[in-house]
Homo-oligomer: A and B are copies of this chain.
Amino acid sequence: MTIDEVSRPGRVAAPGEAISAEELALAARNHSLPLEALRWEITPPGLHYLLVHYDIPMVDADAWRLRVGGLVDAPLELDLAALRALPARSVRVTMECAGNGRARLEPRPVSQPWLVEAVGTAEWTGVRLRDVLDAAGVRPETVDVVFTGADHGIERGVEQDYQRALPLSEARRDDVLLAYAMNGAPLLPQHGFPLRLVVPGWYGMAHVKWLVGIEAIDREFDGFQHAVAYRMRQSPDDPGEPVTRIAPRALLVPPGHPDFMTRTRIIRPGPLTLEGRAWSGRAPVDRVEVSVDGGGTWIAADLEPIGEHPWAWRRFTAQWRAEPGSHVLTARAVTADGEAQPADQVWSRGGFANNATQRIDVLCTD
């Protein structure tokens, strides 16, 4: 066995190729939100989706330090107490994996095989990233700010600490946090204990967990997770566009009760309130539509107004009188910019940002 056998290039499954043992092993490790948990405005601990590129590190909070360096006037080394002494700020965020929807693509990029459930909403508390950058005196020639996590592994032949960057303007946003708490409690190990980056509106890969380093650099960051992974490519030699903000999506709570194996829903005839949640990291969701005939016809859902939490999902409901027979339920979000969730897949070689509408099979019986 060689490194090349252990860590292979990315690939796309052959047409009709079934889920591999390796994809199943990733699905077993990485947790998604069971769709009935869309009922909770704040996702209960343990039900928020989770993607871990390598292993969850076991971090000793006492020994842990955050180092801030690069193009700064005063490099910093901060412990948790120093961070907690800075002004605290909370933000409610719906976070989604960029790979959500990947396993529904045809052909299927071979990686973590998410269906539609890689999402969750949490209240994150921490300090503004901007306050820490200001304390270090980030120099004006800075282009990107690079974030390094304590997680370490190998990916397509490249051994690496997990690293992602933000352009300086994005890093200085008012609501970008270095978070040490999730829903009022210290971060869980799997969500980045003791500190993670939170970038409201961006897909999950930007929210670097187990943060140990921040570095200001004078160029665009070209690390693996930018230059190789997380790009919307159509072919291996396509440079592609970077994956950044979350595409609009609406998900229904599957109504009634399920069959164990097929997860098909059984409902009784009569009036029924359908409910779900919708979100977008781009323009805000302006309306949600629901269909009970697989997208043939649509009805307008009642959508909660944007309240105090512009980065969190919003609940929608729709009334339906179910009649005996088979139904296919789906929903779509449309943003204030007119971007609508498509019925067809959004395909890229990495399988990113596929926000094709959900499909719920329902059987209505007496």
A interface residue numbers (CB < 8 A to B): 1-3, 6-8, 18-29, 31-32, 34, 36-37, 39-40, 44-48, 50, 52-56, 58, 103, 110-111, 113-115, 117, 152-156, 159, 188-191, 254, 257-264, 266, 325-326, 361, 363, 365
Contacts and interface: CB of A to CB of B under 8 A. Distances in A.
28 contacts: A6-B259, A6-B264, A8-B262, A18-B18, A18-B20, A19-B19, A19-B23, A22-B262, A24-B103, A24-B113, A28-B117, A29-B32, A29-B263, A37-B189, A39-B58, A47-B56, A55-B257, A55-B258, A152-B257, A153-B257, A153-B260, A154-B258, A154-B259, A154-B260, A154-B266, A155-B261, A159-B257, A159-B266
Given A20-B18, A46-B190, A7 B261 contact: yes
A120 to B, nearest CB: 10
A153 B254 CA distance: 13
B28 A114 contact: yes
Contacts of A52: 34
B55 A46 contact: no
B266 A6 contact: yes
Contact of A363 (B3, B40, B113, B155): B3
Contacts of A264: 1, 6-7
Nearest to A6: B264
B22 A24 contact: no
A145 to B, nearest CB: 24
A181 to B, nearest CB: 14
A36 B27 CA distance: 16
Nearest to A34: B29
B6 A262 contact: yes
Contact of A34 (B8, B190, B258, B365): B190
A98 to B, nearest CB: 14
B22 A34 contact: no
A55 B34 contact: yes
A188 B44 contact: yes
Given A6-B262, A7-B260, A7-B261, 15 more contacts: A1-B325, A1-B326, A6-B266, A22-B261, A25-B263, A29-B117, A31-B46, A37-B189, A44-B189, A45-B188, A46-B188, A47-B189, A154-B259, A155-B259, A159-B266
A3 B365 contact: yes
Contacts of A189: 37, 40, 44, 47
Nearest to A159: B266
A6 B363 CA distance: 8
Nearest to A32: B28
A1 B54 contact: no
B45 A153 contact: no
A258 B153 contact: yes
A27 B27 CA distance: 6
Nearest to A17: B18
